């Protein structure tokens, strides 16, 4: 899966987790842009992404993404078997 495909699927995950159908997984999107994206919901997002792509983030990754682009790149890396 490439970055664009991952971003597309992330849109569905974001919408489900934050209960907001207007959300789009733009690369530059951050927690600050989404009212529902607080520290607790961040954990739900992480685990929903893990389940959607059948991957498991490392502990260091869980709170380490600056924006959706970084999360998408990590997903691509995990899927390709080259997790950071």
Partner 1 sequence: MLRFTADLSPATRSFVEDILAAYPDHEGYLVKSFRDRSRSTSRLAEQTAGLIGRLHAGDHRRLVEGYLWICRMVMEEELHFRREGSYRNSSFAEVNASVYQNKADMVLYMDGLLATEVLWSQHARCMDFYVNTFVPKLPTGFRHLEIGPGHGLLLYYTAIAAACGSLEAWDISPASLELTAECLARLGAPKAVELRAGNVFEEAVDRAAEFDSVTLSEVVEHLEDPLRALRNIHGLLAADGLLYVNVPVNAPAVDHIFQLKSPSEAVALVEAAGFTVDETLCAPVAGYSLTRALKADASISVAIVARRGPGRP
Write down the least CB distance from residue 5 to partner 1, Å. Answer: 24
Q: Which of 9, 41, 69, 79 binds partner 1 (CB under 8 A)?
A: 41
Does residue 40 belong to the site contacting partner 1 (CB under 8 A)? yes
Write down the least CB distance from residue 32 to partner 1, Å. Answer: 8
Q: Which of 20, 38, 58, 64 binds partner 1 (CB under 8 A)?
A: 38
> 7 with 75: CB under 8 angstroms?
no
Q: Give residues in contact with partner 1 (CB under 8 A).
A: 19, 31-32, 35-41, 43-44, 46-47, 50, 56, 62
């Amino acid at each position: 899966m490439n970055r664009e495909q991952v971003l597309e699927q992330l849109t569905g995950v974001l919408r489900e987790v934050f209960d907001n159908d207007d959300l789009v997984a733009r690369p530059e999107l951050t927690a600050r842009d989404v009212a529902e994206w607080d520290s607790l919901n961040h954990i739900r997002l992480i685990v929903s992404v893990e389940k959607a792509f059948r991957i498991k983030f490392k502990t260091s990754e869980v709170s380490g993404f600056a924006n959706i682009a970084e999360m998408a790149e990590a997903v691509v890396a995990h899927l390709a078997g080259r997790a950071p």
